[in-house]
């Protein structure tokens, strides 16, 4: 996860949340009059931080921040049946007979085939969904950062669905209309 700090319309720093928040704290202590804002780079959401207290106190509160809880490692759950050392756990799958027949014919058996199918599906996020998420993040950022600028509406239309093309590397590029 990457976050970006702006003071006014000037980019200050991007990186891990702890580093960005520490930089924001420093900007506040230097009594900057410009707006100080942190963006979640992946979603475009503004991350509101409680800057009261010392920088250590501010950083300590990050673990309880509702938008940052997903970064916390989940507590380890007791392991049940399966191959615990590998993290394999038993579950239930309900399929039609034709599905079971196909799975039995696959290399490594049904369980291995299902694991390969799940891993393959997880490694290939839907292109349309990826494009939609990137468009929403860009829109959120633009709306918050630049909505008061001249020609904002025209510029924001350039990022409307169907206009933004995401290259294979994942970087946004414009498409001729």
| pLDDT digits 0-9 by tens, 13-43 | 999 999 999 999 999 988 767 899 999 999 9
Percent of the chain with pLDDT over 90: 30
Closest CA relative to residue 37, chosen from 1, 68, 9, 71: 9
Integer Cα distance of 75 and 112 in angstroms: 27
**pLDDT for 127:** 76
Write the burial class of residue 49 (CB in 10 Å: 0-12 exposed, 13-18 middle, 19+ buried).
buried
Quick count: other Cβ atoms within 10 Å of Cβ 177? 6
pLDDT tens-digit map of 38-83: 999 999 999 999 999 999 999 999 988 888 866 555 556 655 555 6
Write the burial class of residue 136 (CB in 10 Å: 0-12 exposed, 13-18 middle, 19+ buried).
middle
First to last CA, the chain: 33
**What single-letter DSSP state applies at residue 70?**
G
């Amino acid at each position: 996860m990457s976050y970006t700090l702006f003071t006014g319309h000037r980019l200050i720093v991007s990186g891990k949340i702890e580093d960005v928040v520490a930089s924001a704290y420093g900007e506040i202590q230097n009594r900057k009059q410009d707006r100080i804002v942190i963006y979640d780079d992946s979603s475009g959401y503004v991350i509101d931080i409680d800057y009261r207290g010392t920088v250590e106190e501010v950083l300590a509160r990050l673990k309880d921040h509702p938008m940052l809880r997903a970064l916390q490692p989940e507590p380890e759950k007791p392991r049940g049946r399966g191959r615990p050392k590998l993290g394999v756990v038993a579950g239930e799958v309900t399929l039609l007979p034709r599905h079971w027949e196909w799975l039995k014919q696959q290399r490594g058996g049904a369980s291995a085939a299902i694991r390969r199918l799940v891993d393959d599906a997880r490694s290939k996020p839907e292109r349309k969904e990826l494009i939609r998420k990137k468009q929403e993040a860009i829109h959120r950022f633009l709306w918050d950062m630049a909505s008061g600028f001249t020609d904002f509406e025209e510029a924001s239309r350039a990022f409307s669905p169907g206009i933004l093309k995401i290259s294979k590397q994942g970087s946004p590029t414009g498409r001729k209309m």
